[in-house]
Amino acid sequence: MTATKDAFFNATKMSARDKAEATDHTARAIIADEAKLREKKTEKLKALRLQRQAEAEPELPAPKRKRKVSIKSAGQ
């Protein structure tokens, strides 16, 4: 079998509409895959964060400080 240009190149031309549809389909597939991966990553990170929060000791709120009254303002 000899190599000819017909073996490597498509003899028929695609219309502009067909090219646009192929590009649109490919782009939408890529975007959908990326969104799926992003959602999967978000779920994984959320699960890890919730697990870390469950394992951590609960933080107690800091006690409120009483205001110190300065001598100048108290004596007036």
- Of residues 42 and 67, more confidently modeled: 42
- Torsion of the alpha carbons at 32, 35, 41 and 45, rounded to the nearest 10: -150
13-51 tens-digit pLDDT:
889 999 999 999 999 999 999 999 999 999 999 999 999
For the chain, which residues make up each domain, given as ranges? 16-55
What's the whole-model pTM score? Answer: 0.53
- Of residues 3 and 76, more confidently modeled: 3
The number of angstroms, rounded, from the C-alpha of 5 to the middle of its chain's C-alpha atoms is 45
